[in-house]
A and B are shown apart, each in its own frame.
Chain A
Amino acid sequence: MYRYNDFDEAFVRTRVAQFSGQIARRLDGSLTEDEFRPLRLMNGLYLQLHAYMLRVAIPYGTLDSRKMRQLAYIAERWDKGYGHFTTRQNIQFNWPKLPDVPAILSALADVGMHAIQTSGNTVRNVTADHFAGAAADEIADPRPVAELLRQWSTDHPEFQFLPRKFKIAITGSPNDRAVTRAHDIGLRMVRDASGAPGFEVIVGGGLGRTPMIGAVIREFLPQSDLLPYIEAILSAYNSAGRRDNKFKARIKITVFENGLENFRAEVERRFAEIRPQFTGADQALLRGIEAAFAPPAFREAPTEAHEIALANPAYRRWAETNLSEHRQPDYAIVTISLKAHGGTPGDASAEQMRVMADLAERHGHDELRISHEQNVILPHVHKSDLPAVYDALAGAGLATANVGLLSDIIACPGMDYCALATARSIPVAQEIATHFRALGLEEEIGRLKIKISGCINACGHHHVGHIGILGLDRAGVENYQITLGGDHTETAAIGERAGPGFAYDQIVPAIERLLRAYLGLRNSPAETFIDAFRRLGPAPFKAALYPPQEGQRNAA
């Protein structure tokens, strides 16, 4: 794992000192809110409905036990004993007080963490496949490149005042777990005909108000051209992106309005200009970073403890849903579900964070990951250790066997916390999870992605959920629209709106009608919801959502 060098350390400490001074001047009245707001947003500090919120960057979702324990400490010392892991692999603290923020940032800096560029119109935290370095299907670990991008983009003078925020995601696997097609730039590792590694570069994807699937701007970019090419894209966007209208300022609109061919031509022109300035220092730096991400010393040992434990039905169920194939056959990737039925998606208590940190240290080569699906990953667990890991997780309320199932829901904070939200998300997720558990249908329904956003900004990725739920304010009442057929993977697709929205107390019954219809329509239990939807099209699902005998609908 990458460790801060002296430069990183000095930069973060300097920023903490600067922002602490700015907070002091805000508190003593020397700075107005108009003056302070851009400064706090540069440092990840928001003001939400009930309190301030501090968004802490977890670069490419990678943590070690020391960092996780420090997050637990911060949650207990300055917050309300928990943290919320987000769809951008970050963590948010929902209750910090302004005078405490300098101490929190110092505590973060103590473990090489910060909240810089987690807000504002800058390059945000670079996200990556949460199975990076462990997945069986991977070409190479994408995190060294993600770290290179982090270093390049942090405080990059040209890109501190972009037209709008800018999100980059990277994957090293053909199976896309990083939603690369819904980012401003998506990078997918590929090899050319000679076997040399490089990237497919995707540009102009994004969700929000105007959802778009990104387009391929370069089919193959050699690895050594990566930084100048990304810089050329940012530069072209920085010039051509619209600053007159916030809703048209993302790069997806720039690409759409100018046309991909014109935008590509401008990127290539800019690339030709700046490529000669990259004389290899970046590649030398990358070699050094790669060394920091060398794979752990994998252990060779018998795995029968795992096979024996499979006789326990609860363990077997957990193993079936929460384990993924590791590139070392004797190892497994463990996904720790933060989706206990009735809990808040993505929340972990300080105590749970410590349990996860302990497990990573004892059984997981000291690595943890945060997934964009708001779960925590132990990427490298030897199979003989799995029963002990399971027991410890079960003791901490962390052994919910639902990864990839109906209750493994992505949900944004919604109007329970967020000042931008138009409706609540969390209680809808809670109610869906508990309702279907009470019905006993979750396992029968099988693999399904439900994603919930509390406003059109789509932090809950509802457009790419198999079932997406969007909470809106319709004439002063919460109203929920359903989208169907979205896909967040390498076959990414934007879901289509099913019809009029549903009132707060009607959304769970609507989802039940939809899923009961699916159970009746599928041609075998092996046909998942999304497969059945693709085979049959939306009509039978819409018919279930809006039964003709129901006279009165909730008009949207």
Chain B
Amino acid sequence: MSRRFTPKVITANDLREGDTVWLTPDDRWSRDHLDAELIEDEAHAQIRLLDASVRGHEVVGAYLAEARPGPRGPEPVHFRETFRTRGPSNYNHGKQAGAA
């Protein structure tokens, strides 16, 4: 038996700006990871990844990233994905610069 499927989100980089985006349940690319669709079923994840991969005119390098449910939306699991929601640690640039 294969390992139990852990929840995922679909994420990529925006083609024009290069910044990080997440696929929402209503097929938008959001710049806020909290808007992402949290995918809990493996077969559905593959279908959504196919959906994303035909949108190469909008984004680059779509992939499934591990996530967990949070109070306001999906939260990243791995530290790399956490950094992608935020920006670099040496300057207040990237996503964190726009945060309230």
Contacts and interface: CB of A to CB of B under 8 A. Distances in A.
A404 to B, nearest CB: 23
16 contacts: A26-B15, A29-B57, A48-B18, A50-B93, A50-B94, A51-B18, A80-B91, A94-B88, A96-B18, A97-B16, A97-B17, A416-B83, A416-B88, A417-B88, A426-B88, A427-B90
A50 B18 contact: yes
B79 A32 contact: no
Interface string A348-383: 000000000000000000000000000000000000
Interface of B: 13, 15-20, 56-57, 60-61, 77-80, 83-84, 87-91, 93-95
Contact of B89 (A52, A95, A426, A476): A426
A340 to B, nearest CB: 12
A43 to B, nearest CB: 15
Overall SS of chain B's interface: loop
A98 interface: yes
Most chain-A Cβ atoms within 10 A of its Cβ — which of B19, B78, B90, B91?
B90
A166 to B, nearest CB: 26
A337 interface: no
Interface of A: 26-27, 29, 32-33, 47-52, 80, 94-99, 344, 347, 415-417, 424, 426-427, 430, 473, 476-478
Given A32-B56, A97-B16, A424 B89 contact: yes
Contacts of B19: 50-51
Given A97-B17, A417-B88, A476-B78, 19 more contacts: A26-B15, A27-B15, A27-B16, A29-B57, A49-B20, A49-B83, A50-B84, A51-B13, A51-B17, A80-B93, A97-B18, A98-B15, A98-B17, A99-B16, A344-B91, A415-B80, A415-B83, A430-B90, A477-B79
Contacts of A47: 13, 18, 60-61
Nearest to B95: A50
A359 B91 CA distance: 27
A426 B17 CA distance: 24
Contacts of A417: 88
Contact of B79 (A29, A99, A427, A478): A478
5 closest residue pairs by CB, A with B = A416-B88, A52-B18, A51-B18, A29-B57, A50-B94
Contact of B88 (A32, A50, A478): A50
A477 to B, nearest CB: 7
B88 to A, nearest CB: 4
A80 B92 CA distance: 11
B82 to A, nearest CB: 10
A50 B90 contact: no
